[in-house]
Structure 1
């Protein structure tokens, strides 16, 4: 794409940067650091994490919808469209497939149950990393 960036694509790009900032701040900064704070044990960390990630995931829906609407309106190049679609699909996978597994495990730990660690956390982190990459690609592609 050459020339000025269409307004709808600029909106998609701005939403991708906002969304990326949310993901980086919570998933890659707050989440690991809270377990290093003095006095924060696993149960406390999970209780905090459950609240924080519920809020993050709810907030993520807003830029996802903005991106979807902007990309439908903008008729962007393949890179922007693919990156936006990938980010939205990855969020949907997190919300529909992985979060319920994590919620069950968190509830069990908070209830005092002991058991094997869930592999769902690794899936969530992998999807989060891929989502961050997709948002970065969309943000860059929308600039040009």
Structure 2
């Protein structure tokens, strides 16, 4: 892969990785342990934070895609980039709407039955973290 696009993609991928780790695996579980933060308040905060994160992720995904395409990627870099885009798309299109509907019900004062959809989001998030780390390393080596 060409050096300048590889360097740009590497920076973006590691920034993206850091954001996902900080928000999904640090802020999200910790906010529910804070004094005075009950489930509705935590869900309200989480929705705002994840809406912002997902918007930034879409931007970072597009920048990564452009840098990778311009840089004539290796097959491994292209495959990892595609995998990350598929994981993000799955989260945004298949899972987030279901989580939003459930949190709407909780915020409206209902007590909906427990759902496993959140676990699918976490699984995709963990897979995305692994793929982002692998892509970042491959880009470092390729650049």
Alignment of 1:73 onto 2:70: yes
How many angstroms does 1:90 deviate by?
A: 0.6
**Offset, 1:58:** 0.5
Structure 2 matches for 1:1-144, cutoff 5 A?
Answer: 6-144=3-141
The residue matched to 1:132 in structure 2 has which SS?
helix
Structure 1 Cα separation of the partners of residues 130 and 20 of structure 2: 11
For residues 95-124 of structure 1, the C-alpha deviation after alignment (integer angstroms, 9 at most, x for no partner) is 100000000000000001112112111011
Once superposed, which parts of structure 1, at least 4 consecutive aligned residues long, lie more than 6 Å away? none
- Paired with 1:115 and 1:38, the residues of 2 have a C-alpha distance of 24
For 1:47 and 1:56, locate their aligned partners in 2 and report how far apart those are by CA, in whole Å: 14
TM-score, structure 1 as length reference: 0.94
Q: Counterparts of 1:108 and 1:78 in 2: how far apart (Å)? A: 44
TM-score (norm 2): 0.95
The Cα RMSD (Å) is 1.1
Unaligned runs of 5+ in 1: none
Deviation at 1:94, TM superposition (A): 0.6
Which has the higher mean CA deviation after the structures are superposed, 79-88 or 93-102? 79-88
SS for the counterpart of 1:99 is: helix
Q: What runs of 5+ residues in structure 2 fail to find an aligned partner?
A: none
Cα deviation, residue 83, structure 1? 1.2
Cα distance in structure 2, aligned partners of 1:115 and 1:71: 43
